Amino acid sequence: MHRREKEIKGHHRRSKTKPSNTLIKAHVLSVLFLFCFGPVTENPSFSYVFVSAFSSISVQAHPSHSASNNSSPHKTALVQPTDNCEDGGLPRFRPSTARFMKSRNIFQKREHYNEALLNRIISGRTSQCPLWRKRTKRAAATLGIQRNHRTDKDYRDEQENLYKEILTNRPSVPPPTSTLSATATTSSPISEPIGKAIPKLEIVTFSKRKQKLTQKQHDEAKLEWAAKYTSIHTLRQNFGRNRNKLWGDFDVKTTRKLYHTLLPRALLGLYEVGLWSPKDLAPLAFEARVAAKKYARERCILPGRVAAMVYDGFRSWRQWGQWSASGMSWEQVWDKYESQILEEYMEENTHVDIDELQEEITAQICLRILERSCITNEAVDKMFLEDEFSTSEGKVNKRRRNANRDLLKIKSKLDKDMQDLLEANKAIENASSKNRFPFYLNILGGSFEQNLSIQDLWQISTR
């Protein structure tokens, strides 16, 4: 009798613990299935089958507690299916399944819009139609798109902030160490040096007169070019970063070609067009050359990088008495070319009044800096680039081919930017000279039409 009572009590004890263990196992299996087959459960029908399967396990684990009045939190089923079905499909579930679907969304978040719709909404926000902008704003709020778009004003503000950061370290013309004062320097064009004969009678046509930019156009063009090419950070963004930060991407020969490509020849072209003065171009050319040197040295292999730094440091120590691996500073460059210009003036004239020729000397120094910024060391070029054509016909390895391909991309992009800059300046020049008068020749106070031949002009002038 006692043995029978013990068996009955043990059966009840096992019946109380077994359903809870089965329920815990069902929860663990559901979580493991979600981690392993999360992407598969994107199909709604598959998810419902999965929920109903594990819910049936939990319900069968403790059938007696579903009808009891004193039920605990462990006795409730996860899913309670209803009786109605739509189109003979799976049964619909009550809102109690929202807890299960919410836990699944924690591991994987679904985006209910694609990139094409996002671009459409971004373009609609900047539309000229107010109704379309309003509808686009409502659609973005409905879809929950919070990604902001960049307008032209945002780009301009970003470039201005970048230019202001660069402007804090912008070289001044002339530097404080110069013997020239900065008050007398203006942006007037350069006249001929002393000693060269200037003709008394000069024939000036309207086609030779350069249309000057307004101050706003001048500042915007200068800002755009300076923010793009005078900083190593912008060069990395435009032309790519170093893939191998420790060893480097390019060999010495390709690095030298890259350095030649990045030299600021576009600024020299702007001076030849006549739209910018050397006083504005000289600091930009110096900064662009320094940024090109740093960028090319950054992408060079490690032995060439170390050799270039040692060479620049030794040259700076020999000339200026201090070690500098980045080359000469703005003050040192100015002092170097200032002494050269003053020596040239001294050779042509026995006495030179610096106070009277301050503007002239400053303009000549700026022009010399602008010209020398596009010229490299001939000895180094001969060392690394003399056998360029002889080795190009031979077998080229994969690393060299990749480097040459990257170099061609950089060169084409730089040429395109320079062409766009020149075309923009030409467009500004043409826009400012729409109302042109007929061409005239100003000779001895008289005006004559340009369509006259040389013989007619000679006959008129000899009367």
At 176 the pLDDT is 72
Q: Which range, 29-38, 235-244, 255-264, is most confident?
A: 255-264
Instruction: Identify the weakest region by mean pLDDT among 51-65, 133-147, 163-177, 346-360.
Output: 51-65
The length of the chain, given as a count of residues: 463
| Mean of the per-residue pLDDT values of the chain | 66
3-state secondary structure of 463: coil
**35 token code pair:** 């981690």
Nearest-CA neighbor of 51 among 28, 73, 30? 30
Domain residue spans in the chain? 17-64+74-107, 115-147, 156-200+211-432, 435-463
Say if residue 350's pLDDT is above 70.
no
At 293 the pLDDT is 92
DSSP, residue by residue, 238-285: HH---SSTTT-SB-HHHHHHHHHHTS-HHHHHHHHHTSS-HHHHHHHH
78 or 416, higher pLDDT: 416
Q: In the predicted model, what is the mean pLDDT of residues 209-217? A: 56
The answer to whether 232 touches 294, Cβ cutoff 8 Å, is yes
Q: What are the tens digits of pLDDT across the range 121-147? A: 777 777 778 888 788 777 777 766 655
At 384 the pLDDT is 77
**457 token code pair:** 């002009």
Confidence of residue 369 (pLDDT cuts 50, 70, 90): very high
At 13 the pLDDT is 56
Say if residue 393's pLDDT is above 60.
no
- pTM tops 0.85: no
Q: What are the tens digits of pLDDT across the range 4-16? A: 666 666 555 555 4
Q: What's the rounded Cα separation, in Å, for the pair 132 and 138?
A: 10
Q: What's the rounded Cα separation, in Å, for the pair 411 and 413?
A: 5
The answer to whether 277 touches 187, Cβ cutoff 8 Å, is yes
At 205 the pLDDT is 38
Alpha-helical segments (H) within 349-397:
358-372, 378-385, 388-392
At 356 the pLDDT is 74
At 387 the pLDDT is 57
Calculate what percentage of the chain has a pLDDT beyond 70.
Answer: 44
Q: What's the rounded Cα separation, in Å, for the pair 127 and 111?
A: 25
Confidence of residue 264 (pLDDT cuts 50, 70, 90): confident
Confidence of residue 368 (pLDDT cuts 50, 70, 90): very high
